[in-house]
Each structure stands twice: as structure tokens, then as C-alpha cells.
Homo-oligomer: A and B are copies of this chain.
Amino acid sequence: MPKAKGHPTMLDVAREAGVALGTVSKVVNRQPVGEDYKRKVEQAILKLGYQYNSSGRVLRTDRTDTVALIIPNTINPYFAKLVHYINIALERRDKKTLLCFTDYDKNRELEFIRMARENQVDGIIALTYNAELVIPEDIAFVTIDRFFSVSVPCIASDNFGGGWLAAHRLYDLGCRRLAFMRIGSSLSNEPSKRKEGFVAACVELDVPFELKILEDNAPFGEFEAFLSSHIQNGRLDFDGLFCGTDMLAWQMIQVLKGKGIRVPEDVQVIGFDGIRMFGTLDYTVSTIIQPVQEIAETAVSTVLSSHLSTVPSLICLPVQYAAGGTTRD
């Protein structure tokens, strides 16, 4: 029976590409094949409009080869980098990413989780600030930066170690009176440990320190007031400042400059995240770098693990320090 026009077969593709039928089969089934052959087959498939329907596979294996990624946005460069490397890690395993931006909207998060279950995704990776979130038990669920319960694996940077490292580095650079600033959160989340590590190091080094933690919805002006209250006769009474994020560090540096305080001459500043200008150039400030690529890789391998109940409930990955012009190194 002749094939209807417009419904090319795998053989048509092989003829168009000038390759063997087995080569086409390998390409559509994602088996290894030389790059040149692969390109020829891909081009022929597109040219002829050949349709290899994968839904049969979906029904057979009862998997969709899709992982849902729930994250506030990609405007924030830390989130953007995380989305990038999670997607790359999934692609490497022939999985697709179902991308859900919550914009910090709790109802949208709930709806996304339900939608992901409905679509029978292989798992969910979520970075969320939603305290009310109910984690479904019938789906692989991994969180980033946020503790939910001992049965939900959480992947994070070593935030405690990062805070500890920042205080030590400031001390090694000659600072003898430190301060820590962050925008707080009432949630039990991993980034809170940046403060704990910082305080532990200050106590250990026997260095006096100040803490200024702003509540989520407090006016930003309180940070300015805190800095002003520590300036006497044009001098800041601490010489080392650690901020909870690079963004906050950068904002505080602008405030300090506006008040005639020089960075790094009068005060050395370290942030947290490892954000680079335009994603790839210089660090925006001296910083504790989050190992984003490793966090992504670990989140993906964990969510796809077939033994989710035996994986650690918290995995903290090592951070490192990098100078970015706001310290004297």
C-alpha cells in the first residue's frame, strides 16, 4: 500500500539523508551515532516533516521523561544560573524541563505542583518560600535552599561554612570589628545559616560584631539608618561587612559611598552568591561563591534517583571565596 503523501516513513528519511535505515532508527531512539550522520538525519527529518510519535513510548514506560522546575523567576541572576544548569543536567539525561515561574505567588506554586502531578512528571525540583506548601508524597520531590521535613531531600550550598569563611577572610584581611546584614525570613531555610557561621567564626576569633537582620517586609531605609547610626565623625565604627547576598552588599556599598565611606579603604565588604557582571565577567563584589553547577547536578541526580528514601535529607555543597574589588586582596 503506498504511503499517503505528507506522511514520510523512516525509509524516506534514510534515503533523503543518504544513510542506512539503522542510522535513522538510532537517531530517533537517541542511541550513539556519529555527529555528521546525526546532523544529516536531523536535517532530513525536518525537511520531510517525518513524525516519530513518541507517545507510544510514554504509554509503555508510564514516564514522561519530564521534570518540573519550580522557581520564582530568572530575573535574579542566581535563579537564572540555577535554571540554566538544572536544565543542562536534565538534557544530558534526555529529560525535559517543565518550567514554572512562581513570582513568589503561593497559589501559583500550589497550582504548578498539582499540574506537574497531573502531567505525570518524573519529579519536581522546587526553590520556594512558601511556608504553607504541602509536599505530595506520591512524587519525587527535591527542594533547593529550603528545609521542609526529613523526608524531603534538600540541596544547598554550605551556608554555615560560607558565613564562617567570610568572617575569617575579613579577619585575615585585617578587619577587627565586623558586621553582618541580611534581609531575614521567618522560614526555616538554609541561607539563615550564613549568619550562624559568621557568628561562630567571630566568637572563635574573639572579634566584636554587629548583626542587622531586616524582616521581609521592613522598609529598606532601616539598613541606611543602621549604617548611619554607626558613623561617628565621618568614620564607620566597623571595618569589615558581610552581607547575606551580593545584591545587598552592592546596595550597601552605594549607601556607604553616599555617606563618604570608602570601599575597601575604610570598610571591606563581602557578599554571598558569586554573581558576575553580565553572567560571565567580573564578580560584582568580593563574594562567597555558591557552587550552582554542583547544586543543579545534585538536585537532578537526586530527584531522578530510584531510591529517594535512602538519599540524604540535606546535602550541602562546598563554597569558596573570590575577591571582587570590595576587599583589600
Contact = CB atoms under 8 A, between A and B. Distances in A.
Contact of A43 (B42, B88, B110, B247): B110
Contact of A38 (B51, B83, B91, B107): B107
A280 B247 CA distance: 10
19 contacts: A39-B110, A43-B134, A45-B114, A46-B114, A46-B117, A49-B137, A54-B118, A75-B280, A80-B83, A88-B101, A91-B100, A91-B101, A96-B99, A96-B115, A98-B98, A99-B99, A250-B277, A250-B278, A250-B281
A47 B76 CA distance: 31
A53 to B, nearest CB: 7
B84 A279 contact: no
**Band of interface residues on A:** 35 or more
Contact of A83 (B46, B74, B77, B281): B74
B42 A110 contact: yes
A contact face: mostly helix, strand, loop, or mixed: helix
A174 interface: no
Given A97-B98, A97-B99, A118-B53, A278 B77 contact: yes
A113 interface: yes
A73 B77 contact: no
Given A47-B134, A49-B138, A84 B101 contact: yes
A302 interface: no
A106 B88 CA distance: 15
Copies in the complex: 2
A279 B245 CA distance: 14
A74 B76 contact: no
Contacts of A250: 277-278, 281
- Residue among A77, A81, A84 with max Cβ neighbours from chain B (10 Å): A84
Nearest to A101: B87
A119 interface: yes
Given A45-B114, A251-B281, 4 more contacts: A42-B107, A43-B134, A80-B80, A250-B278
Interface string A43-72: 101110101111100000000000000000
Contacts of A210: none
A108 B28 CA distance: 13
A75 B251 CA distance: 22
A284 interface: yes
